[in-house]
Structure 1
Amino acid sequence: MDVNHFLISSLLERWRSETHTFHFPYGETTMTLEDVVVLLGLPIDGDVVTGPTTVQDIFATFHEHLGVIPPPTVIRGNSIRVSWLNSTFQQLPPNANNEVIAQYVRAYILTLIESILMPDTSAARVHVMYLLRLADLNVVRNYSWGSAVLSCLYRCLDHGIHLRQENIRGCMILLQCWAWERITTIAPQLQPLSDQEVADGDGFPVCRRWMNFLWRPYTRQEVSRLIVVDIPPVSRATVPIICFATVEIHQADRVMRQFGLRQNIPPEPVNLDQVHRDDLRGRNDRDWVGHHHQWIAIWNDRENRIVQGTPLAETAICVMKHRICSGT
């Protein structure tokens, strides 16, 4: 899917890194775990995606999990070139046994991670740390891949607002589909735009088009019958979301209207300046499980951190009764 760079740039102008939300005239909004599970179908309720990020022998690791030893030219540091994965694992051989099928599955998931879900600025190399999480395919779904994707997107948007940042990485498909679902006036047109419509500014998002916003697009009848995934309650939990060195806060308490609840005054956002200094550069041998143990403990307590509130329908009725009783 082509990425609309005008749309991404317009959204970046309204992104606030301290809250991980877009600031619109009608309030704050952002991509949540609910959007991830609906739009991407990834599991969001599970163990955090973290662990060791380095191996003793990278060639032996690839041979163990992919069945082949890559040439040294496609290896750089702890990463491997995605183009080599595409060419080497392009076609599953006939009569492949379960072990070979598992190797091709790992290669395919690695390609998805780097090209779509959690790409870097070049989308050319994928880190070996993801391959380690794919070693046992029977437990892969036990990880919260959705929260890992969202944490990387949050971090990428934080970097994207810097003036010197030329490229932006992260799951742009998630960001763009989120915008299309909620801001219907910027969704793809069924009919091509005329030259006059383009001249009037209808070919890309402008300020006047932000006003039509759907807080709950997935509850519409034509949409809800197409959704085939269960949305777990953790989708509205205020918790840290983690992907190896990356830690961000899923601030569901700032976008309660997206869950059909009345928006309360949110608390001050958590200051993550110190955590944001952590990345993989020069820290490949760090034990991220131990280093982020306090954040992982909060994530493991996610069931007790689900946002509660007054449903919007009840709020509207109370406001209406108040106006009738007061004569306003």
Structure 2
Amino acid sequence: MLGLSIWGQPVTGPCVSDGWRARVAAFLGREVEEQGTRTSGVLISWLREHFGQCPQDADAETVGHYCRAWILHLFACVLFPDATGDTASWMWIHCLTDWHQAGSYSWGSAVLCFLYRQLCEACRRSSGSPSVGGCVYLLQLWMWSRLPVGRPEIMPRRPWFPGEPPRRQPTWAYIWDQVKVSHTRLDRAYLDYINEIDALTAHSPYDGDDPLPFPLSFVCAADDDIYRMVCPLICFYAVEYHLPHRVARQFGMRQIWPPQATSTSIELHNVDRKKKRKVSEWASFHHAYIQEWELFEENVDENNEPHTNSAYRQYQSWYQGATRHRLREAWTQDDYAEIQSSDDEDMVYDQSTHAGRQVEAGPILDRMGRTLQTSVRDIEHIRPRVRDPEIRSVLERLSNRLRRAAARCGCRTATTRDVHVPALRVTGVGTSTQGPSGSKSIASEELDDDDDDDDDEQRAKEIGPSQLQEAPLTQPT
């Protein structure tokens, strides 16, 4: 999409904050003004002010400095923007100082790695004004190419520069050179988009695209033989795994199931520049992952089986047996044939359903179940330290009652603690349940009056609410 190279050495190297102003001055040929306590880099506004327009009579050295400033600005605003959005990091200078060496890095994998890490961090932010970094331009292009919902209308493109060599022909992103943007009300955008996605009748996001009406730069397909490499992506402190074998359909191949397990190391997500201030040489810190990266040619996914509907049905059977379903409770118990006709679409339920405002019990029950499970864990944590046997007995009965209540609200069983392992099925789309995973004392059953009514109350109710903070608590039907 962007024409960045994949083949090359990983983007990493020394990362020392001491003396960064001197390094930036040597890189740009201009002293950096004092910016308070900021040590992450230079302000983008400073770059624009001092390098906005190259003088017509500039010598070769000055032109080189302006070119470096332009690239640093490109990195800060497009390829590697951080969540602040106003700073150009000095971290990249090590890879850009030598023009001839700069082209030997795998910038494509670094951009993807940095985007993965920024998306991960954005999902975990809980502030009132969260933001996201990384190359969201790449993410936007990918979404427009895969999902027809909400994407703009393609308009006639501006003419490309005449007489350009093959390398300087446009990239795939040129499709969206001129677009007519779709509009929707901010308070309705989430509901509008998910309603449109639900209305898609032919889900084939990985079908081949129509032939492009313009020639592509050959760099767009220069590394297509390693698109499906299974390896870590490296960008200084960030290491994110590239696992194309888990999304084989995206490459037109049959999805092998279950996919090969690959540990993505949760510890890697705890590694960043703030938590590892003492790390000055990331190449040494991530030496093992760099060695794994260097073997990417040997780790290309070898699955070349084409996708077929038969294979997809087999995959669905496996997937349904390896996952659990949460089903929405019926809105009426009346027989379908006896329901009054609603062709006029004036019924309250029809109106609220079509508008996406129907209040469902499932999300509320799901939240209640999770809250009750938290209470159970709190009780079980403190109960062993209670010496009074009568109080311990009361806490045990209370814990059992809350656990059964949580099971009624969600898809857990009364004996499930934290992990639910669904039973395997060959076919069908039912709701999987788990048998008792532990024993319960007879005395406990005799002391509790409510032990005899929890056999059929352990069915799941509703798909849980979206994790998007701006999304409504209920899902449209």
TM range (shorter): 0.7 to 0.9
Q: How does 1:1-328 map to 2 (within 5 A)?
A: 39-54=1-16, 56-73=18-35, 76-162=38-124, 164=126, 166-189=130-153, 204-206=193-195, 207-208=197-198, 212-216=202-206, 219-223=208-212, 226-228=215-217, 229-232=220-223, 233-265=225-257, 266-281=259-274, 282-283=276-277, 285-312=279-306, 315=308
Q: Which runs of 5+ in 1 are unaligned?
A: 1-38, 320-328
Shift of 1:73: 2.3
Aligned with 1:274: secondary structure?
helix
Conservation of the 8 A alpha-carbon contact between 2:241 and 2:264 = no
Shift of 1:59: 2.8
Aligned with 1:48: secondary structure?
coil
The code of the aligned residue for 1:261 comes to: M
Conservation of the 8 A alpha-carbon contact between 2:249 and 2:255 = yes
Aligned with 1:312: secondary structure?
coil
For 1:13, the equivalent position in structure 2 comes to none
- Calculate the aligned-residue CA RMSD, in Å: 3.1
Shift of 1:50: 0.4
The code of the aligned residue for 1:258 comes to: Q
Shift of 1:194: 9.3
> Separation in 2 of the partners of 1:200 and 1:52?
44
TM-score, normalization: structure 1? 0.75
Shift of 1:203: 5.7
Aligned with 1:241: secondary structure?
strand
Aligned with 1:170: secondary structure?
coil
Shift of 1:236: 1.1
The ranges of structure 1 where at least 4 consecutive aligned residues each deviate by more than 4 angstroms after the TM superposition are 190-196, 198-203, 209-215, 315-319
What does the per-residue CA deviation read over 1:252-301, in whole Å, with 9 as the maximum and x for residues that have no partner?
Answer: 11011111211112122413211221111152642110110111111111
The code of the aligned residue for 1:230 comes to: A
The code of the aligned residue for 1:145 comes to: W
The code of the aligned residue for 1:48 comes to: P
The code of the aligned residue for 1:154 comes to: Y
Aligned with 1:122: secondary structure?
coil
> Separation in 2 of the partners of 1:112 and 1:75?
24
Conservation of the 8 A alpha-carbon contact between 2:51 and 2:66 = yes
What does the per-residue CA deviation read over 1:18-77, in whole Å, with 9 as the maximum and x for residues that have no partner?
Answer: xxxxxxxxxxxxxxxxxxxxx211111111110011255223212211111111127721
Conservation of the 8 A alpha-carbon contact between 2:150 and 2:182 = no
Aligned with 1:248: secondary structure?
strand
Aligned with 2:232: secondary structure?
strand
What does the per-residue CA deviation read over 1:149-168, in whole Å, with 9 as the maximum and x for residues that have no partner?
Answer: 11111112212223615212
The code of the aligned residue for 1:221 comes to: D
> Separation in 1 of the partners of 2:182 and 2:135?
27
Conservation of the 8 A alpha-carbon contact between 1:193 and 1:203 = no
> Separation in 1 of the partners of 2:251 and 2:152?
25
- Name which structure has the greater RCO, CA cutoff 8 Å, separation 6+: 1
Number of residues of Structure 1 aligned to a counterpart in Structure 2: 279
> Separation in 1 of the partners of 2:30 and 2:295?
40
Q: Which runs of 5+ in 2 are unaligned?
A: 155-179, 313-477
Aligned with 1:267: secondary structure?
coil
Aligned with 1:143: secondary structure?
coil
> Separation in 1 of the partners of 2:71 and 2:18?
23
Aligned with 1:247: secondary structure?
strand
The code of the aligned residue for 2:89 comes to: H
Pair member with larger Rg: 2
Query: Between Structure 1 and Structure 2, which shows a larger proportion of strand residues?
Result: 1
Shift of 1:181: 0.2
> Separation in 1 of the partners of 2:235 and 2:152?
32
The code of the aligned residue for 1:208 comes to: D
> Separation in 2 of the partners of 1:308 and 1:138?
34
Deviates more, 1:130-139 or 1:70-79: 70-79
The code of the aligned residue for 2:13 comes to: G
TM-score, normalization: structure 2? 0.53
Shift of 1:201: 8.1
> Separation in 2 of the partners of 1:89 and 1:59?
17
Shift of 1:125: 1.0
